A and B are shown apart, each in its own frame.
Chain A
Amino acid sequence: MGKTIAEKIFDAHRVDEPFPDTHVLKLDRVFCHEITTPIAITDLMARGMDRVFDPEKIKAVIDHVTPAKDSKTAEQGKILRDWARRHDIKDFFDVGRNGVCHAIFPEKGFVRPGYTIIMGDSHTCTHGAFGAFAAGIGTTDLEVGILKGVCAFHFPKTIKIVLTGSLQPGVYAKDLILFIIKELTVNGATNMVIEFTGPVVDAMSMESRMTLCNMAIEAGGTCGICYPDMTTVDYLWDFIQDEFATKEDALADYSKWVSDADADYERVLTYNVSQLQPMVTVGYKPDQVKTVAEVSGTKVDQIYIGSCTNGRIEDLRIAAEVLKGKKISDTVRAIVSPATPAIYSQALKEGIIEIFQDAGFCVTNPTCGACLGMSNGVLAEGEACASTTNRNFNGRMGKGGMVHLMSPASAAAAAISGTIENSDLYKA
Protein backbone atom coordinates (compact mmCIF):
# COMPACT_ATOMS: atom_id res chain seq x y z
CA MET A 1 0.00 0.00 0.00
CA GLY A 2 1.36 3.40 -0.96
CA LYS A 3 1.34 6.52 1.18
CA THR A 4 -0.25 9.93 0.97
CA ILE A 5 1.91 13.05 1.11
CA ALA A 6 0.75 13.71 4.68
CA GLU A 7 1.72 10.16 5.76
CA LYS A 8 5.15 10.64 4.19
CA ILE A 9 5.62 13.91 6.07
CA PHE A 10 4.50 12.21 9.30
CA ASP A 11 6.97 9.34 8.73
CA ALA A 12 9.82 11.79 8.18
CA HIS A 13 9.03 13.80 11.33
CA ARG A 14 7.73 11.30 13.90
CA VAL A 15 9.72 11.40 17.15
CA ASP A 16 7.35 9.36 19.27
CA GLU A 17 4.11 7.43 19.27
CA PRO A 18 3.42 7.40 23.01
CA PHE A 19 -0.10 6.02 22.60
CA PRO A 20 -2.02 4.43 19.76
CA ASP A 21 -2.80 7.04 17.09
CA THR A 22 -0.82 9.77 18.85
CA HIS A 23 1.98 10.90 16.56
CA VAL A 24 4.39 13.39 18.06
CA LEU A 25 6.07 15.22 15.17
CA LYS A 26 9.21 17.32 15.03
CA LEU A 27 8.38 20.81 13.74
CA ASP A 28 10.20 22.71 11.00
CA ARG A 29 8.38 25.97 11.64
CA VAL A 30 6.41 27.57 14.44
CA PHE A 31 4.64 30.71 13.24
CA CYS A 32 3.36 33.30 15.70
CA HIS A 33 1.09 36.34 15.72
CA GLU A 34 0.15 38.86 18.36
CA ILE A 35 -3.31 37.54 19.20
CA THR A 36 -2.62 33.97 20.29
CA THR A 37 1.10 34.07 21.12
CA PRO A 38 1.30 36.66 23.96
CA ILE A 39 -0.92 34.55 26.20
CA ALA A 40 1.33 31.53 25.47
CA ILE A 41 4.41 33.61 26.29
CA THR A 42 2.87 34.85 29.54
CA ASP A 43 1.93 31.33 30.55
CA LEU A 44 5.41 29.97 29.76
CA MET A 45 6.91 32.77 31.84
CA ALA A 46 4.57 31.98 34.73
CA ARG A 47 5.67 28.34 34.55
CA GLY A 48 9.33 29.40 34.62
CA MET A 49 9.75 28.03 31.09
CA ASP A 50 10.48 31.16 29.10
CA ARG A 51 12.60 29.37 26.49
CA VAL A 52 12.38 28.70 22.74
CA PHE A 53 13.46 25.48 21.00
CA ASP A 54 15.12 27.21 18.03
CA PRO A 55 14.91 30.95 17.26
CA GLU A 56 15.66 30.26 13.57
CA LYS A 57 12.56 28.11 13.18
CA ILE A 58 10.22 30.51 14.90
CA LYS A 59 8.79 33.37 12.82
CA ALA A 60 6.57 36.08 14.25
CA VAL A 61 4.43 38.92 12.98
CA ILE A 62 2.03 41.53 14.28
CA ASP A 63 -0.86 41.37 11.83
CA HIS A 64 -4.31 41.16 13.36
CA VAL A 65 -4.56 44.68 14.72
CA THR A 66 -1.77 46.88 13.40
CA PRO A 67 -0.79 49.60 14.11
CA ALA A 68 -2.20 49.02 17.61
CA LYS A 69 -5.69 50.53 18.08
CA ASP A 70 -5.78 50.75 21.88
CA SER A 71 -3.82 49.96 25.02
CA LYS A 72 -4.72 46.30 25.01
CA THR A 73 -3.59 45.64 21.43
CA ALA A 74 -0.49 47.74 22.10
CA GLU A 75 0.28 45.49 25.07
CA GLN A 76 -0.15 42.36 22.95
CA GLY A 77 2.29 43.74 20.37
CA LYS A 78 4.73 44.67 23.09
CA ILE A 79 4.71 41.19 24.66
CA LEU A 80 5.45 39.62 21.25
CA ARG A 81 8.10 42.21 20.36
CA ASP A 82 9.93 41.94 23.70
CA TRP A 83 9.85 38.15 23.48
CA ALA A 84 11.24 38.12 19.93
CA ARG A 85 14.09 40.38 21.03
CA ARG A 86 14.75 38.43 24.21
CA HIS A 87 15.11 35.18 22.31
CA ASP A 88 16.86 36.56 19.25
CA ILE A 89 14.01 35.66 16.88
CA LYS A 90 15.33 37.50 13.83
CA ASP A 91 12.33 36.98 11.60
CA PHE A 92 9.96 39.20 13.51
CA PHE A 93 7.87 41.58 11.42
CA ASP A 94 6.87 44.73 13.23
CA VAL A 95 4.72 47.68 12.15
CA GLY A 96 5.74 48.88 8.71
CA ARG A 97 7.30 45.59 7.67
CA ASN A 98 4.33 43.46 8.66
CA GLY A 99 1.58 41.77 6.72
CA VAL A 100 -1.06 39.08 7.11
CA CYS A 101 0.72 36.00 8.50
CA HIS A 102 -0.37 33.48 5.86
CA ALA A 103 0.65 35.86 3.09
CA ILE A 104 3.94 37.20 4.44
CA PHE A 105 5.48 33.92 5.66
CA PRO A 106 5.24 32.17 2.25
CA GLU A 107 6.39 35.35 0.52
CA LYS A 108 9.55 35.37 2.67
CA GLY A 109 10.31 31.79 1.62
CA PHE A 110 9.69 30.26 5.04
CA VAL A 111 7.56 27.39 3.72
CA ARG A 112 9.00 24.38 1.85
CA PRO A 113 7.57 21.12 0.57
CA GLY A 114 7.66 18.41 3.22
CA TYR A 115 7.72 20.82 6.16
CA THR A 116 5.71 20.50 9.36
CA ILE A 117 4.29 23.83 10.51
CA ILE A 118 2.04 24.92 13.35
CA MET A 119 0.58 28.26 14.29
CA GLY A 120 -2.02 29.42 16.77
CA ASP A 121 -4.29 30.31 13.90
CA SER A 122 -6.89 28.14 12.21
CA HIS A 123 -5.96 29.23 8.68
CA THR A 124 -2.44 27.82 8.98
CA CYS A 125 -3.76 25.18 6.56
CA THR A 126 -2.92 27.76 3.85
CA HIS A 127 0.74 26.69 3.79
CA GLY A 128 -0.20 23.22 2.58
CA ALA A 129 -0.26 24.85 -0.87
CA PHE A 130 3.51 24.20 -0.91
CA GLY A 131 3.18 20.49 -0.13
CA ALA A 132 3.71 21.04 3.60
CA PHE A 133 1.73 19.70 6.55
CA ALA A 134 0.57 22.91 8.22
CA ALA A 135 -2.03 22.94 10.96
CA GLY A 136 -3.73 25.47 13.18
CA ILE A 137 -3.49 24.68 16.88
CA GLY A 138 -4.43 26.28 20.18
CA THR A 139 -2.32 28.10 22.74
CA THR A 140 -1.19 25.04 24.72
CA ASP A 141 0.05 23.27 21.57
CA LEU A 142 1.73 26.54 20.61
CA GLU A 143 3.48 26.69 23.99
CA VAL A 144 4.82 23.19 23.56
CA GLY A 145 5.82 23.99 19.96
CA ILE A 146 7.75 27.06 21.10
CA LEU A 147 9.35 25.22 23.99
CA LYS A 148 10.09 21.83 22.48
CA GLY A 149 9.57 22.03 18.71
CA VAL A 150 7.06 19.18 18.71
CA CYS A 151 3.31 18.75 18.31
CA ALA A 152 1.01 15.72 18.63
CA PHE A 153 -1.44 14.76 15.88
CA HIS A 154 -3.74 11.90 15.00
CA PHE A 155 -3.04 9.87 11.88
CA PRO A 156 -3.68 12.06 8.82
CA LYS A 157 -6.67 10.45 7.13
CA THR A 158 -7.01 12.11 3.75
CA ILE A 159 -9.77 13.17 1.38
CA LYS A 160 -8.51 13.48 -2.17
CA ILE A 161 -10.26 15.98 -4.40
CA VAL A 162 -9.56 15.68 -8.10
CA LEU A 163 -10.49 18.76 -10.12
CA THR A 164 -10.82 18.26 -13.85
CA GLY A 165 -11.92 20.45 -16.76
CA SER A 166 -10.97 24.11 -16.72
CA LEU A 167 -12.31 27.19 -14.97
CA GLN A 168 -14.27 29.66 -17.09
CA PRO A 169 -13.07 33.27 -17.28
CA GLY A 170 -14.27 35.16 -14.20
CA VAL A 171 -14.28 31.98 -12.06
CA TYR A 172 -11.46 31.55 -9.56
CA ALA A 173 -9.96 29.40 -6.81
CA LYS A 174 -12.28 31.15 -4.33
CA ASP A 175 -15.39 30.06 -6.24
CA LEU A 176 -13.98 26.55 -6.38
CA ILE A 177 -13.27 26.28 -2.67
CA LEU A 178 -16.71 27.69 -1.79
CA PHE A 179 -18.22 25.01 -4.03
CA ILE A 180 -16.07 22.30 -2.38
CA ILE A 181 -17.05 23.44 1.15
CA LYS A 182 -20.69 23.30 0.11
CA GLU A 183 -20.13 19.71 -1.06
CA LEU A 184 -18.16 18.63 2.03
CA THR A 185 -20.17 20.70 4.55
CA VAL A 186 -18.62 22.52 7.51
CA ASN A 187 -17.49 19.35 9.26
CA GLY A 188 -17.11 16.96 6.32
CA ALA A 189 -13.32 16.97 6.60
CA THR A 190 -12.91 17.13 10.40
CA ASN A 191 -9.64 15.48 11.49
CA MET A 192 -8.70 15.00 7.85
CA VAL A 193 -6.26 16.40 5.35
CA ILE A 194 -7.73 17.57 2.04
CA GLU A 195 -5.54 16.94 -1.01
CA PHE A 196 -6.32 19.18 -3.96
CA THR A 197 -5.18 17.57 -7.21
CA GLY A 198 -5.94 17.33 -10.91
CA PRO A 199 -5.34 19.47 -13.98
CA VAL A 200 -7.19 22.49 -12.57
CA VAL A 201 -4.83 22.64 -9.58
CA ASP A 202 -1.79 21.90 -11.77
CA ALA A 203 -2.66 24.97 -13.83
CA MET A 204 -3.03 27.22 -10.77
CA SER A 205 -0.56 29.81 -9.49
CA MET A 206 0.77 29.47 -5.93
CA GLU A 207 -1.54 32.35 -4.97
CA SER A 208 -4.60 30.43 -6.14
CA ARG A 209 -3.43 27.25 -4.42
CA MET A 210 -3.08 29.22 -1.20
CA THR A 211 -6.66 30.47 -1.59
CA LEU A 212 -7.80 26.87 -2.03
CA CYS A 213 -5.87 25.49 0.97
CA ASN A 214 -6.73 28.52 3.13
CA MET A 215 -10.35 27.46 3.44
CA ALA A 216 -9.77 23.72 4.12
CA ILE A 217 -10.51 24.53 7.77
CA GLU A 218 -13.98 25.81 6.83
CA ALA A 219 -14.81 22.18 5.98
CA GLY A 220 -13.18 21.14 9.27
CA GLY A 221 -9.96 20.01 7.55
CA THR A 222 -6.65 19.91 9.45
CA CYS A 223 -4.68 20.96 6.38
CA GLY A 224 -5.20 21.49 2.67
CA ILE A 225 -2.37 20.13 0.53
CA CYS A 226 -1.25 20.56 -3.08
CA TYR A 227 1.59 18.54 -4.56
CA PRO A 228 4.81 20.49 -5.16
CA ASP A 229 5.59 20.97 -8.85
CA MET A 230 7.47 23.40 -11.11
CA THR A 231 5.11 26.23 -10.08
CA THR A 232 6.17 25.64 -6.48
CA VAL A 233 9.85 25.57 -7.46
CA ASP A 234 9.51 28.79 -9.49
CA TYR A 235 7.85 30.55 -6.55
CA LEU A 236 10.58 29.42 -4.14
CA TRP A 237 13.55 29.71 -6.49
CA ASP A 238 14.99 32.92 -4.99
CA PHE A 239 15.18 31.19 -1.63
CA ILE A 240 16.43 27.76 -2.68
CA GLN A 241 18.89 28.44 -5.46
CA ASP A 242 21.83 27.85 -3.15
CA GLU A 243 20.51 24.42 -2.30
CA PHE A 244 20.02 23.12 -5.84
CA ALA A 245 22.04 23.40 -9.07
CA THR A 246 18.96 23.67 -11.26
CA LYS A 247 15.20 23.97 -10.92
CA GLU A 248 14.91 20.44 -12.26
CA ASP A 249 17.05 19.20 -9.38
CA ALA A 250 14.81 21.01 -6.92
CA LEU A 251 11.74 19.48 -8.52
CA ALA A 252 13.28 16.00 -8.44
CA ASP A 253 13.97 16.41 -4.73
CA TYR A 254 10.52 17.81 -3.90
CA SER A 255 8.86 15.02 -5.82
CA LYS A 256 9.28 12.81 -2.78
CA TRP A 257 6.45 14.85 -1.30
CA VAL A 258 3.75 13.56 -3.64
CA SER A 259 1.19 10.88 -2.78
CA ASP A 260 1.67 7.40 -4.20
CA ALA A 261 -0.85 6.27 -6.80
CA ASP A 262 -1.96 3.40 -4.54
CA ALA A 263 -2.24 5.50 -1.37
CA ASP A 264 -5.21 4.85 0.90
CA TYR A 265 -7.84 7.59 1.01
CA GLU A 266 -10.83 8.14 3.23
CA ARG A 267 -12.72 9.44 0.18
CA VAL A 268 -11.84 10.40 -3.37
CA LEU A 269 -14.08 13.02 -4.97
CA THR A 270 -13.79 14.03 -8.59
CA TYR A 271 -15.41 17.14 -9.98
CA ASN A 272 -15.39 18.51 -13.50
CA VAL A 273 -15.49 22.24 -12.84
CA SER A 274 -15.86 23.55 -16.38
CA GLN A 275 -19.44 24.66 -15.71
CA LEU A 276 -18.71 26.17 -12.28
CA GLN A 277 -20.13 29.67 -11.80
CA PRO A 278 -19.01 32.42 -9.40
CA MET A 279 -20.14 31.46 -5.90
CA VAL A 280 -21.12 33.38 -2.75
CA THR A 281 -22.15 32.53 0.80
CA VAL A 282 -25.55 33.54 2.10
CA GLY A 283 -25.85 32.81 5.80
CA TYR A 284 -23.67 32.36 8.83
CA LYS A 285 -21.92 29.12 7.84
CA PRO A 286 -19.28 28.79 5.11
CA ASP A 287 -21.16 25.87 3.52
CA GLN A 288 -24.25 28.02 2.89
CA VAL A 289 -23.21 28.65 -0.67
CA LYS A 290 -25.17 29.77 -3.73
CA THR A 291 -24.24 30.97 -7.17
CA VAL A 292 -23.85 34.72 -7.47
CA ALA A 293 -26.56 34.64 -10.15
CA GLU A 294 -29.05 33.14 -7.67
CA VAL A 295 -28.73 36.08 -5.28
CA SER A 296 -28.06 38.80 -7.83
CA GLY A 297 -29.43 42.14 -6.61
CA THR A 298 -28.81 41.48 -2.89
CA LYS A 299 -27.86 44.81 -1.31
CA VAL A 300 -24.57 45.25 0.53
CA ASP A 301 -23.23 48.17 2.57
CA GLN A 302 -19.50 47.53 2.53
CA ILE A 303 -16.93 45.86 0.29
CA TYR A 304 -13.78 44.32 1.74
CA ILE A 305 -10.94 43.04 -0.44
CA GLY A 306 -8.03 41.56 1.47
CA SER A 307 -7.11 38.86 4.04
CA CYS A 308 -5.06 35.67 3.94
CA THR A 309 -7.59 34.23 1.50
CA ASN A 310 -7.61 36.89 -1.20
CA GLY A 311 -5.32 39.81 -0.43
CA ARG A 312 -2.45 38.80 -2.72
CA ILE A 313 -1.25 40.56 -5.85
CA GLU A 314 -3.17 38.21 -8.15
CA ASP A 315 -6.36 39.08 -6.28
CA LEU A 316 -5.74 42.83 -6.47
CA ARG A 317 -5.02 42.56 -10.19
CA ILE A 318 -8.31 40.77 -10.79
CA ALA A 319 -10.29 43.28 -8.76
CA ALA A 320 -8.55 46.18 -10.51
CA GLU A 321 -9.44 44.72 -13.89
CA VAL A 322 -13.11 44.89 -12.92
CA LEU A 323 -12.79 48.37 -11.36
CA LYS A 324 -10.68 50.08 -13.98
CA GLY A 325 -12.30 53.33 -15.10
CA LYS A 326 -15.36 52.75 -12.88
CA LYS A 327 -16.67 54.29 -9.68
CA ILE A 328 -18.10 52.47 -6.69
CA SER A 329 -21.79 52.91 -5.98
CA ASP A 330 -22.84 55.85 -3.78
CA THR A 331 -24.64 53.36 -1.56
CA VAL A 332 -21.48 51.52 -0.41
CA ARG A 333 -18.07 52.15 1.04
CA ALA A 334 -15.20 49.93 -0.06
CA ILE A 335 -11.93 48.94 1.57
CA VAL A 336 -8.90 47.18 0.12
CA SER A 337 -6.06 45.89 2.26
CA PRO A 338 -3.04 44.53 0.34
CA ALA A 339 -1.88 41.57 2.45
CA THR A 340 1.83 42.46 2.68
CA PRO A 341 4.09 45.50 2.10
CA ALA A 342 5.59 43.78 -0.97
CA ILE A 343 2.12 43.28 -2.44
CA TYR A 344 1.29 46.91 -1.66
CA SER A 345 4.47 48.13 -3.44
CA GLN A 346 3.86 45.89 -6.42
CA ALA A 347 0.27 47.15 -6.69
CA LEU A 348 1.53 50.73 -6.54
CA LYS A 349 4.03 50.05 -9.32
CA GLU A 350 1.39 48.48 -11.52
CA GLY A 351 -1.01 51.40 -11.03
CA ILE A 352 -3.48 49.15 -9.21
CA ILE A 353 -3.62 51.29 -6.08
CA GLU A 354 -4.53 54.26 -8.26
CA ILE A 355 -7.36 52.30 -9.85
CA PHE A 356 -8.74 51.44 -6.41
CA GLN A 357 -8.46 55.02 -5.22
CA ASP A 358 -9.99 56.48 -8.37
CA ALA A 359 -12.89 54.09 -7.97
CA GLY A 360 -13.44 55.36 -4.42
CA PHE A 361 -11.81 52.64 -2.32
CA CYS A 362 -10.12 53.26 1.01
CA VAL A 363 -6.68 51.65 0.81
CA THR A 364 -5.40 50.42 4.17
CA ASN A 365 -2.02 49.19 5.34
CA PRO A 366 -1.46 45.42 5.29
CA THR A 367 -3.42 43.89 8.21
CA CYS A 368 -6.11 41.36 9.01
CA GLY A 369 -8.24 44.40 9.74
CA ALA A 370 -11.94 43.95 9.12
CA CYS A 371 -11.65 40.20 8.46
CA LEU A 372 -12.15 39.41 12.13
CA GLY A 373 -14.06 42.54 13.01
CA MET A 374 -11.45 44.03 15.32
CA SER A 375 -10.51 47.13 13.33
CA ASN A 376 -10.46 48.84 9.91
CA GLY A 377 -14.02 48.27 8.75
CA VAL A 378 -16.21 46.81 11.50
CA LEU A 379 -19.86 46.52 10.42
CA ALA A 380 -22.81 48.11 12.20
CA GLU A 381 -25.78 46.01 13.27
CA GLY A 382 -27.85 44.89 10.28
CA GLU A 383 -25.19 45.73 7.68
CA ALA A 384 -23.86 43.39 5.01
CA CYS A 385 -20.38 43.15 3.52
CA ALA A 386 -19.25 41.66 0.21
CA SER A 387 -15.96 40.22 1.33
CA THR A 388 -13.04 38.22 -0.02
CA THR A 389 -12.31 36.79 3.44
CA ASN A 390 -12.98 33.24 4.63
CA ARG A 391 -15.47 33.36 7.49
CA ASN A 392 -19.09 34.47 7.54
CA PHE A 393 -19.94 33.59 11.13
CA ASN A 394 -22.58 35.72 12.78
CA GLY A 395 -20.81 38.78 14.17
CA ARG A 396 -17.46 37.96 12.56
CA MET A 397 -17.07 41.44 11.07
CA GLY A 398 -19.06 43.21 13.78
CA LYS A 399 -22.03 42.32 15.95
CA GLY A 400 -25.20 41.82 13.93
CA GLY A 401 -23.36 42.07 10.60
CA MET A 402 -23.64 39.68 7.65
CA VAL A 403 -20.60 38.68 5.60
CA HIS A 404 -21.00 37.37 2.04
CA LEU A 405 -17.84 35.49 1.04
CA MET A 406 -16.88 35.77 -2.62
CA SER A 407 -13.98 36.19 -5.05
CA PRO A 408 -12.17 39.50 -5.60
CA ALA A 409 -13.87 39.81 -9.02
CA SER A 410 -17.32 39.44 -7.48
CA ALA A 411 -16.45 41.81 -4.63
CA ALA A 412 -15.31 44.44 -7.14
CA ALA A 413 -18.54 43.96 -9.10
CA ALA A 414 -20.52 44.44 -5.88
CA ALA A 415 -18.61 47.66 -5.20
CA ILE A 416 -19.69 49.08 -8.54
CA SER A 417 -23.35 48.12 -8.36
CA GLY A 418 -23.93 48.18 -4.59
CA THR A 419 -25.49 44.73 -4.89
CA ILE A 420 -24.19 41.19 -5.35
CA GLU A 421 -23.59 40.63 -9.08
CA ASN A 422 -21.42 38.65 -11.44
CA SER A 423 -18.42 40.59 -12.67
CA ASP A 424 -18.00 41.51 -16.33
CA LEU A 425 -15.11 39.03 -16.43
CA TYR A 426 -17.66 36.22 -16.19
CA LYS A 427 -19.65 35.98 -19.39
CA ALA A 428 -22.33 33.33 -19.21
Chain B
Amino acid sequence: MKTFKGNVLFLDRSDINTDEIIPAKYLTEITKEALKPNLLEDLVLPGFSRADTEDKAVIVTRENFGCGSSREHAPWALEVNGINVVIAESFARIFRQNMYNCGMFAIELPKATIDGLFKDYAGKAVTMEIDVDGSQIVIQADGKSETIDFAVGEFDKTLVKEGGWVGYADKNY
Protein backbone atom coordinates (compact mmCIF):
# COMPACT_ATOMS: atom_id res chain seq x y z
CA MET B 1 0.00 0.00 0.00
CA LYS B 2 1.14 3.53 -0.77
CA THR B 3 1.48 6.29 1.84
CA PHE B 4 -1.20 8.93 2.07
CA LYS B 5 0.20 11.70 4.25
CA GLY B 6 1.75 15.12 3.88
CA ASN B 7 1.43 18.73 2.79
CA VAL B 8 -1.54 19.97 0.80
CA LEU B 9 -1.67 21.74 -2.56
CA PHE B 10 -4.88 23.75 -3.04
CA LEU B 11 -5.99 24.20 -6.67
CA ASP B 12 -8.95 26.54 -6.67
CA ARG B 13 -10.50 25.74 -10.05
CA SER B 14 -12.93 23.28 -11.65
CA ASP B 15 -12.42 21.19 -14.79
CA ILE B 16 -8.65 20.80 -14.53
CA ASN B 17 -8.03 18.41 -17.41
CA THR B 18 -5.41 15.74 -17.98
CA ASP B 19 -3.70 17.85 -20.67
CA GLU B 20 -3.04 20.40 -17.92
CA ILE B 21 -1.89 17.73 -15.48
CA ILE B 22 0.57 16.32 -18.03
CA PRO B 23 0.69 17.70 -21.60
CA ALA B 24 0.42 15.34 -24.60
CA LYS B 25 3.98 16.03 -25.68
CA TYR B 26 5.23 13.96 -22.74
CA LEU B 27 3.16 10.90 -23.69
CA THR B 28 6.14 9.58 -25.61
CA GLU B 29 7.93 8.93 -22.32
CA ILE B 30 8.18 5.26 -21.45
CA THR B 31 8.96 5.60 -17.74
CA LYS B 32 6.83 7.22 -15.06
CA GLU B 33 9.85 8.92 -13.49
CA ALA B 34 10.44 10.95 -16.67
CA LEU B 35 7.11 12.73 -16.08
CA LYS B 36 8.26 14.19 -12.77
CA PRO B 37 9.40 17.68 -13.85
CA ASN B 38 6.30 18.35 -15.96
CA LEU B 39 3.40 17.88 -13.52
CA LEU B 40 0.75 20.61 -13.97
CA GLU B 41 3.03 22.38 -16.42
CA ASP B 42 0.15 23.79 -18.48
CA LEU B 43 -2.21 24.52 -15.59
CA VAL B 44 -4.08 27.77 -16.11
CA LEU B 45 -4.54 29.14 -12.61
CA PRO B 46 -3.56 32.68 -11.58
CA GLY B 47 -0.89 32.69 -8.90
CA PHE B 48 0.07 29.05 -9.42
CA SER B 49 3.64 28.12 -10.16
CA ARG B 50 5.23 24.72 -10.73
CA ALA B 51 7.25 25.15 -7.54
CA ASP B 52 3.98 24.92 -5.58
CA THR B 53 3.86 21.18 -6.27
CA GLU B 54 7.09 20.53 -4.41
CA ASP B 55 6.91 18.60 -1.17
CA LYS B 56 3.15 18.01 -1.49
CA ALA B 57 1.28 14.75 -0.89
CA VAL B 58 -2.37 15.77 -1.25
CA ILE B 59 -4.31 17.96 -3.70
CA VAL B 60 -7.58 19.64 -2.76
CA THR B 61 -9.55 20.98 -5.71
CA ARG B 62 -13.04 21.64 -7.08
CA GLU B 63 -15.28 19.90 -9.65
CA ASN B 64 -14.60 17.46 -12.51
CA PHE B 65 -10.88 17.04 -11.84
CA GLY B 66 -9.05 14.93 -14.46
CA CYS B 67 -11.45 15.42 -17.36
CA GLY B 68 -10.39 14.88 -20.97
CA SER B 69 -7.84 12.39 -22.18
CA SER B 70 -7.74 8.89 -20.67
CA ARG B 71 -3.98 9.08 -20.11
CA GLU B 72 -2.91 7.26 -16.97
CA HIS B 73 0.17 9.45 -17.21
CA ALA B 74 -1.89 11.94 -15.15
CA PRO B 75 -2.02 9.84 -11.96
CA TRP B 76 1.55 8.71 -12.66
CA ALA B 77 2.77 12.30 -12.86
CA LEU B 78 1.14 12.87 -9.46
CA GLU B 79 2.55 9.63 -8.05
CA VAL B 80 6.17 10.33 -9.00
CA ASN B 81 5.81 13.70 -7.34
CA GLY B 82 4.67 12.01 -4.14
CA ILE B 83 1.00 12.99 -4.48
CA ASN B 84 -1.15 9.89 -3.87
CA VAL B 85 -4.36 11.64 -2.83
CA VAL B 86 -6.67 14.03 -4.66
CA ILE B 87 -9.72 15.39 -2.83
CA ALA B 88 -12.36 17.06 -4.99
CA GLU B 89 -16.06 17.75 -5.37
CA SER B 90 -16.12 15.34 -8.33
CA PHE B 91 -13.87 13.56 -10.81
CA ALA B 92 -14.03 12.52 -14.45
CA ARG B 93 -14.73 8.78 -14.56
CA ILE B 94 -11.58 7.54 -16.30
CA PHE B 95 -9.23 9.60 -14.13
CA ARG B 96 -10.96 8.47 -10.94
CA GLN B 97 -10.73 4.81 -11.93
CA ASN B 98 -7.09 5.22 -12.99
CA MET B 99 -6.27 6.58 -9.53
CA TYR B 100 -7.76 3.56 -7.74
CA ASN B 101 -6.34 1.18 -10.34
CA CYS B 102 -2.92 2.54 -9.33
CA GLY B 103 -3.74 2.12 -5.64
CA MET B 104 -4.18 5.89 -5.10
CA PHE B 105 -7.07 7.86 -3.55
CA ALA B 106 -9.56 10.04 -5.46
CA ILE B 107 -11.87 11.20 -2.68
CA GLU B 108 -15.14 12.99 -3.35
CA LEU B 109 -16.55 15.37 -0.76
CA PRO B 110 -19.66 17.57 -0.88
CA LYS B 111 -19.28 21.12 -2.18
CA ALA B 112 -19.86 22.65 1.26
CA THR B 113 -17.06 20.55 2.77
CA ILE B 114 -14.66 21.49 -0.03
CA ASP B 115 -15.63 25.16 0.40
CA GLY B 116 -14.83 24.76 4.10
CA LEU B 117 -11.41 23.24 3.37
CA PHE B 118 -10.51 26.15 1.09
CA LYS B 119 -11.80 28.71 3.60
CA ASP B 120 -10.10 27.21 6.65
CA TYR B 121 -6.84 25.91 5.26
CA ALA B 122 -5.85 27.29 1.83
CA GLY B 123 -2.66 29.32 2.12
CA LYS B 124 -1.79 27.85 5.53
CA ALA B 125 0.70 25.20 6.62
CA VAL B 126 -1.54 22.15 6.71
CA THR B 127 -1.06 18.41 6.46
CA MET B 128 -3.60 15.72 5.70
CA GLU B 129 -3.44 12.00 6.27
CA ILE B 130 -5.83 9.32 5.03
CA ASP B 131 -6.88 6.79 7.64
CA VAL B 132 -7.63 3.97 5.21
CA ASP B 133 -9.45 1.60 7.59
CA GLY B 134 -11.44 4.35 9.24
CA SER B 135 -12.27 6.14 5.94
CA GLN B 136 -11.28 9.46 7.45
CA ILE B 137 -9.15 12.43 6.46
CA VAL B 138 -7.08 13.63 9.42
CA ILE B 139 -6.15 17.30 9.10
CA GLN B 140 -3.45 19.02 11.15
CA ALA B 141 -3.00 22.78 11.15
CA ASP B 142 -2.05 25.42 13.74
CA GLY B 143 -1.45 22.67 16.28
CA LYS B 144 -5.08 21.62 15.98
CA SER B 145 -6.54 18.50 14.45
CA GLU B 146 -9.81 17.81 12.62
CA THR B 147 -11.20 14.69 10.98
CA ILE B 148 -13.57 14.40 8.03
CA ASP B 149 -15.33 11.15 7.08
CA PHE B 150 -15.43 10.15 3.45
CA ALA B 151 -17.19 7.42 1.50
CA VAL B 152 -15.21 4.89 -0.52
CA GLY B 153 -16.57 1.83 -2.32
CA GLU B 154 -15.41 -1.61 -1.23
CA PHE B 155 -13.88 -2.25 -4.63
CA ASP B 156 -11.86 0.95 -4.57
CA LYS B 157 -10.66 0.29 -1.03
CA THR B 158 -9.63 -3.23 -2.02
CA LEU B 159 -7.60 -1.82 -4.92
CA VAL B 160 -5.84 0.62 -2.59
CA LYS B 161 -5.00 -2.16 -0.14
CA GLU B 162 -3.89 -4.64 -2.78
CA GLY B 163 -1.84 -2.01 -4.59
CA GLY B 164 -3.93 -1.97 -7.78
CA TRP B 165 -6.16 -3.84 -10.23
CA VAL B 166 -3.65 -5.95 -12.19
CA GLY B 167 -2.76 -8.24 -9.31
CA TYR B 168 -6.36 -8.49 -8.15
CA ALA B 169 -7.69 -9.38 -11.61
CA ASP B 170 -4.93 -11.86 -12.31
CA LYS B 171 -5.78 -13.67 -9.08
CA ASN B 172 -9.54 -13.65 -9.58
CA TYR B 173 -10.28 -13.98 -13.30
- Residues of chain A touching chain B, judged by Cβ–Cβ distance below 8 Å, are 15-16, 18-22, 24, 35-36, 38-39, 42-44, 47, 49, 64-65, 70, 72-73, 75-76, 79, 120-122, 124, 136-141, 143-144, 147-148, 150, 152, 186-187, 190-191, 220, 222, 284-285, 372-374, 391, 393-396, 399
Contacts and interface: CB of A to CB of B under 8 A. Distances in A.
Nearest to B44: A394
Interface in B44-74: 44, 63-64, 67-72
A147 B72 CA distance: 18
B172 A16 contact: yes
B53 to A, nearest CB: 18
A144 B68 contact: no
A245 B97 CA distance: 43
Contact of B70 (A15, A39, A75, A138): A138
Contact of A373 (B24, B29, B97, B153): B24
B148 interface: no
Contacts of B17: 393
Contacts of A43: 166
Interface residues of B, number: 43
A140 B165 contact: yes
Given A139-B72, A187-B64, A152 B164 contact: no
Nearest to A20: B154
A308 to B, nearest CB: 13
A136 B172 CA distance: 23
Contact of B173 (A15, A42, A121, A373): A15
B158 A19 contact: yes
A143 B68 CA distance: 20
Given A16-B173, A122-B69, A373-B24, A140 B166 contact: yes
B8 to A, nearest CB: 23
A152 B93 CA distance: 12
Contact of A138 (B44, B68, B71): B71
A-B CB proximity, top 6 nearest: A138-B98, A140-B101, A138-B72, A72-B28, A139-B72, A187-B64
A122 B70 contact: yes
Instruction: Give the one of B23, B30, B70 with max A CB within 10 A.
Output: B70
Contact of B28 (A49, A73, A152): A73
A269 to B, nearest CB: 20
A72 B169 CA distance: 31
B90 A190 contact: yes
A35 to B, nearest CB: 5
